[in-house]
């Protein structure tokens, strides 16, 4: 991997090592709309290239997510190298907090895979630029519930766009991943009368969710080949690749996972096959909206976050319409929408203003 080639379009990428075995990458894609905000992942990456690619792709998606959601925030992401011989200790977490603090507010860290609100609390001891803490500590709490709610609204919007009705009764929906988002999404969909099939790398977790929601449990490999109304990826990204996309038998792909498609060309193949894709950085944006609301001058207000929820189905319909009118994929339509907003702001902020005029 040529690091500088891969960094193209990013403002800054910080590589840091430190006490406790810390090895991390903090990628800042854009601060045009505001400071970069993104989750922190703690995962056993296969190698350095995989970790760097994850940080770069996810930070870019965060920029587009914020832009499409109308937020005045930039895109960033952080990954901590986990795996054998690396314990998620207080030392490691505090060392990561120092790395965040060294960026002086250009990057704001929040929860993502492998990181809990308890971990954020430890990071906060070293950095003021940590968000998503528990409510009793002045934060908005874990954002998985709001993300799941937003995804459920997005799935309804997809069904209504294709069929004219968002009624979930009798719809067959396959959910991959029943963690912080997937389990709550399953509950929302089951409450609406959907028939569910679930899968997770943790078989016991899948069985618990299935029992609570009246769902069927299958292997992840089988789940992606089922003939269903909706396929909902809610685990790790890059799951739909060039081989799998040709074998999908769903009508809709709509889930809470980030970077669901292994490459941009997969979106074109989905469109060519007549499968409606809800761009992940649009349908899963409500969790980001919740965390960003902590920055509001009046303080966090969950009612204000809920009011933003209807933005997700509305934005998806705009994207589907743009996709149809321009004869491009829905992912291409969403990306162009995000870039339009970035370009509009750039035209204003390309003029330098002295500090006293800002």
Annotated catalytic residues are 77
With beta carbons less than 8 A apart as the criterion, state whether 81 and 51 touch: yes
Give the Cα separation of 291 and 112 in Å (integer): 12
Strand partners, 175: 198, 232
Q: Could you tell me the pTM of the whole model?
A: 0.91
Query: Does domain 3-59+74-137 sit in CATH 1.10.10.10?
Result: no
Who contacts 52 (Cβ-Cβ below 8 Å, separation ≥6)? 1, 3, 6, 13, 25
> 223: closest CA among 250, 243, 203?
250
**pLDDT reported for residue 85:** 82
Give the Cα separation of 26 and 312 in Å (integer): 28
Q: Helices 48-68 and 330-349: crossing angle, nearest 10°?
A: 70
Q: Which fold has domain 144-286+298-302+311-341?
A: Rossmann fold (3.40.50)
**pLDDT reported for residue 236:** 87
Q: Do domains 3-59+74-137 and 144-286+298-302+311-341 have the same CATH topology?
A: yes
Cα 258 to the chain's mean position, in Å?
A: 4
**pLDDT reported for residue 2:** 58
Query: For 221-240, what is each residue's pLDDT tens digit?
Result: 999 999 999 999 999 889 99
Q: Phi then psi for 226, rounded to 5 degrees?
A: -80, 150
Residues of the chain with pLDDT under 70: 1-7, 350-358
For the chain, domain boundaries: 3-59+74-137, 144-286+298-302+311-341
With beta carbons less than 8 A apart as the criterion, state whether 299 and 79 touch: no
Q: Which long-range contacts (CB under 8 A, 24 or more apart) does 46-51 make?
A: 49/1, 51/25, 51/79, 51/81
Residue 295 DSSP symbol: G
């Amino acid at each position: 991997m040529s690091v500088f080639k891969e960094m193209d379009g990013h403002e800054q990428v910080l590589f840091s090592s430190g006490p406790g075995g810390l090895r991390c990458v903090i990628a800042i894609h854009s601060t045009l709309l505001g400071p970069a905000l993104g989750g922190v992942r703690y995962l056993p990456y296969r190698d350095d290239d995989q970790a760097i690619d994850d940080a770069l792709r996810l930070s870019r998606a965060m920029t587009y997510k914020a832009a499409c959601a109308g937020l005045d925030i930039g895109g960033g992401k952080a990954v901590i190298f986990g795996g054998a011989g690396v314990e998620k200790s207080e030392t490691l977490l505090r060392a990561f907090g120092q790395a965040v603090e060294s960026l002086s507010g250009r990057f704001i860290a929040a929860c993502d895979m492998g990181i809990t609100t308890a971990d954020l609390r430890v990071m906060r001891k070293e950095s003021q630029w940590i968000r998503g803490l528990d409510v009793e500590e002045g934060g908005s709490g874990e954002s998985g519930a709001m993300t799941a709610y937003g995804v459920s609204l997005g799935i309804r919007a997809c069904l209504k766009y294709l069929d004219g009705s968002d009624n979930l009764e009798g719809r067959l929906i396959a959910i991959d991943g029943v963690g912080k988002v997937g389990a709550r999404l399953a509950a929302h969909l089951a409450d609406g009368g959907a028939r569910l099939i679930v899968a997770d790398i943790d078989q016991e977790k899948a069985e618990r969710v299935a029992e609570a929601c009246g769902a069927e449990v299958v292997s992840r490999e089988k789940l992606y080949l089922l003939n269903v109304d909706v396929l909902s990826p809610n685990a790790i990204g890059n799951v739909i690749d060039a081989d799998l996309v040709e074998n999908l038998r769903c009508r809709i792909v709509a889930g809470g996972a980030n970077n669901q498609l292994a490459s941009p060309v997969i979106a074109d193949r989905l469109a060519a096959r007549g499968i409606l894709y809800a761009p992940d950085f649009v349908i899963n944006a409500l969790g980001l909206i919740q965390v960003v609301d902590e920055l509001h001058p009046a303080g966090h207000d969950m009612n204000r976050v809920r009011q933003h929820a209807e933005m997700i189905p509305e934005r998806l319909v705009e994207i589907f319409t743009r996709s149809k009118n321009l004869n491009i994929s829905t992912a291409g339509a969403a990306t162009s929408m995000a870039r339009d907003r970035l370009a509009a702001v750039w035209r204003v902020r390309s003029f330098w203003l002295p500090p006293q005029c800002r």
